[in-house]
Amino acid sequence: MIKKILVSTLLLFTTSYAVEGITPTTAKEKTAAPIMTMTDIHGKTYKVKGTAEGLDIEGLQGKVVFLEFFGHQCPPCLASIPHLINLQKKYKDKLAIVSIEVQGYDTKQLSAFAKEKGMNYTVISSKTASEVVDYIQQRAQWRGSIPFLVALDTKGNVQFVQAGMLAESSLEDLISQLSPKATEKNVTKSTKTTTK
């Protein structure tokens, strides 16, 4: 099921400007242009560049990225935190989780919240990532429902978009599908099949 969603999600993300009446050429130019910043609760600033097929987040290249939008008062978001903590521990070398809080906490409030919850991944207030939030709203046609996940492969291409909570096992499957080793295995299998 996740594989089917991957294909339709990529199509949605890369064609969302067409809905607004922008031609494909203009859309390609428009999606490659934005360079934004977001600053985490520890003061680290990330440059984020919009690309035709996703996002290039400075320092996270080569990793699967879960860009999650959540709220401090959202029950499903709160229920997801332990799953994200577990996944970040288990896949720390190939996964980067970036969670942007969108229910109004500033950096100081969010820092205390993250410490209390034991969040071991990148946490950012929407107040220090407003351009990124606006960009995702446009590109993924996100209407503000949370939790909201945008999953990027190791090349920064959007491969999955989901509104609502996913089980930890589904997130783990997604990590496997977006990891380079999984891609190499699929290429190897298809090569073996065609050479028989």
Name the token pair of 57. Answer: 């987040």
Name the token pair of 44. Answer: 């680290």
A 10 A CB-CB count for 191 gives 9
Q: Does this model's pTM top 0.85?
A: no
Query: What pLDDT, in 10s, does the model give residues 114-125?
Result: 999 999 999 999
Average pLDDT, the chain: 82
Query: What's the CA gap between 65 and 150, in Å, rounded?
Result: 8
Helix (H) or strand (E) holding 47: strand 45-50
Cβ neighbours of residue 43 closer than 8 Å, sequence gap 6 or more: none
Residue with tokens 């600053």: 39
Query: What pLDDT, in 10s, does the model give residues 28-61?
Result: 444 445 799 999 999 999 999 999 899 999 999 9
Burial of 41 (0-12, 13-18, 19+ CB in 10 A): buried
SS3 for 18? helix
45-50 sheet: strands from edge to edge: 35-39, 45-50, 55-57
pLDDT (0 to 100) of residue 189 = 42
Decide the pairing of beta strands 45-50 and 95-101. Answer: unpaired
pLDDT (0 to 100) of residue 163 = 94
Name the token pair of 30. Answer: 């428009």
Domains belonging to the chain, first-starting first, are 2-195 (3.40.30.10)
Residue 24 has pLDDT above 90, yes or no: no
pLDDT (0 to 100) of residue 181 = 64
Query: What pLDDT, in 10s, does the model give residues 176-188?
Result: 999 876 444 443 3
Residue 23 has pLDDT above 90, yes or no: no
Query: What pLDDT, in 10s, does the model give residues 143-162?
Result: 999 999 999 999 999 999 99
Q: Which ranges constitute the DSSP H helices of the chain? A: 2-19, 24-32, 75-90, 107-117, 130-139, 168-178, 180-195
